[in-house]
Amino acid sequence: MMKYCLIMLFTFAAVTLAAQPERGEIRSGNRAYSKGNLERAEIDYRRALEQNPGSVHAIYNLGNVLHKRGNSAEAEKLVTAIKDSLPDAGVAPKVFHNLGNYALDQKKYSEAVEYYKSSLRLNPDDDETRSNLAYAQKMLKNEQDKQQQNQDNKDNKDNKDDQNKDQQNQDNKDQNQDQDKKDQQQPPPSITPQAAQQMLQAIQNKERETQEKVNKEKAKVLQGRQKEKNW
């Protein structure tokens, strides 16, 4: 993996700290950082910010420490707040360079590319920033290619599912049509003359039984009426 560079603001801080109340904490943090004591450096820079919450030097240096300690998200949030209000134009390219590093560390490749471009607009001769930009652009392209491939696979799957569904519907339709044709082509069941005569005789017997029941009911009704008249 390509190594990207962090540029601390120690020179800038040392030149302009004379009239600032937080200068002692910032210098203490710088010494701790130079010795590799990142925890102590973070404490000193945070103390500097307690004395002067708007200290560009403390914010910038704290962002670098947070990044080295694996907290690039907080570093980016912290330093972004000062990127448009830097008192020294010479520091701006370094600020954007480091913001690119913070974004790159979070795999926010699109943002990293824009930060590095902003840095190069201010300092076109910075080879380290140019190298980091090339790396960020490569990672961004890989990410976009992967997203496009995933989208293509999804589209192909959706199209295949739709085709399978359409084919299944067509198969069901064809099957139903074939069954209808078979039903239409199938001749009615045949019966023997003897069986037909038996069926007819059974129907006639049923009708005769029904008529006899009706006649009996009529006779009962008639008898009932005659008794009522006699009474």
Indicate the pLDDT class of residue 221, thresholds 50, 70 and 90.
Answer: low
- For CA atoms 196, 200, 203, 209, give the dihedral sign: negative
Residue 84 included in any domain: yes
Residue 106 included in any domain: yes
Indicate the pLDDT class of residue 10, thresholds 50, 70 and 90.
Answer: very low
Residue 158 included in any domain: no
Q: How many separate domains does the chain show?
A: 2
Residue 168 included in any domain: no
Helix axes 92-105, 127-185, angle to 10 degrees: 40
d(CA 129, CA 117): 8
> How many CB atoms sit inside 10 A of residue 12's CB?
19
Q: Look-up: residue for tokens 């830097």?
A: 86
Q: Kindly state whether residues 139 and 212 are assigned to the same domain.
A: no
Q: Kindly state whether residues 26 and 91 are assigned to the same domain.
A: yes
Q: Kindly state whether residues 127 and 218 are assigned to the same domain.
A: no
Strand runs (DSSP E) across 6-113, as ranges?
Answer: none
Residue 126 included in any domain: yes
Whole-number pLDDT of residue 47? 96
Using DSSP's 3-state secondary structure scheme, residue 64 falls into helix
Q: Tell me: the pLDDT tens digits for 171-196? A: 888 888 888 777 777 665 667 878 77
> What's the CATH number where 56 sits?
1.25.40.10
* Residue 29 structural domain: 10-143
Q: Greater confidence, 151 or 117?
A: 117
User: At which of 104, 126, 143 does a domain end?
Assistant: 143
Residue 151 included in any domain: no
Q: Look-up: residue for tokens 């979070």?
A: 106
User: At which of 79, 110, 143 does a domain end?
Assistant: 143
Indicate the pLDDT class of residue 1, thresholds 50, 70 and 90.
Answer: very low
Residue 102 included in any domain: yes
Indicate the pLDDT class of residue 200, thresholds 50, 70 and 90.
Answer: confident
Residue 94 included in any domain: yes
